[in-house]
Structure 1
Amino acid sequence: MRRWSHSLFVRFSAAFLLVGLLPLIALSVFSLRTFTTHVERNTVNNLDQMVYYMGSNLDNLYSKYNEVTKLMYLRTTDGSNLGAGNSVSVSVNEHERINQMSIDDFLTTVMYSDSYIRNVFFVRASDGKLYSQNRDNKALLPNRLPLTGWLGPVKDNPRQLALFPTHDESYYAGSARKVMTVGRNLIDTSGTDLSVPKVVGTLFFDVDASVFDDLFHELNLGPKDELYVVDGSGFVFYSNRGDSGKQIADGADSRADMLTFSQDIPFLNGKVIVRASKGDLYERLTSTRTAVLIAIGICSAVLIGMGVWFSRRLSSPIRSVIRMMARVESGNLDVQPLPGGLDEVGRLSHGFNRMVERLRTFIEEAYVAEIKQKQTELNALKSQIRPHYLYNTLEVIRMNAVASDADEVGDMILSLSKQLKYVIDYGEDLVSLRRELDHLRNYFDIIKVRYENRVGLECETDDAVDPEWLIPKLSLQPIVENAVQHGILPNGGKGTVRLTVRKAEERVVLTVSDDGVGLSPAALEKLESRLNEPSPVSRSIGMKNVHERIRTMYGPEYGLSIGSRPSLGTSVRMILPIREGSG
Structure 2
Amino acid sequence: MFKFPAVSLRNSIFVRLVFTYLFVVIPIIVLGLYLYQWSYKNASEDISRATSKQLNYYLGTLDREVEWIELQLFDLVEDSGLNTLSVTWDFIDNADRRSELSRLIQRMTSVQNSSPYIKDIYIHIPSITKTLSTAGAIQDFDIVQYHFFRSGAKESDHRLIKWNNSLYLNGSKESGRKGAEPLFTVQIELDIEKLLKSLEQVNLYPESGSLLLSESAGFVLSTDKDADLAIQDFIKNSPSSNDAVVMKLKNKKFQMNKVYSEATGLSVAMYLPEETVKRPLSTFSKWAWIFIMTSLLAIVVFSYSSYRIIHQPLLKLIQGFKRMEGGSLDSPIEHERKDEFGYLYTRFNHMLSKLQTLIDQDFKQKMMMQKAELKQLQSQINPHFLYNSFFILNTLSRMGDADRIEKFTNMLGEYFRFITRNGEDFVALSEEIKHSRTYTEIQNLRFSRRITVFFDELPKEMESIRVPRLIVQPIIENAYEHSLEKMEEDGILHVAFEKSPGEILIRIEDNGNAITDSELESLREHLHHTADSYEITGMMNIHRRLVLTFGEGSGLFLAKSKLNGLEVLIRIKTEEEITCIGS
Q: TM-score, normalised by structure 1?
A: 0.29
Larger-Rg structure: 1
Higher relative contact order (CA 8 A, sep 6+): 2
Structure with greater helix share of residues: 2
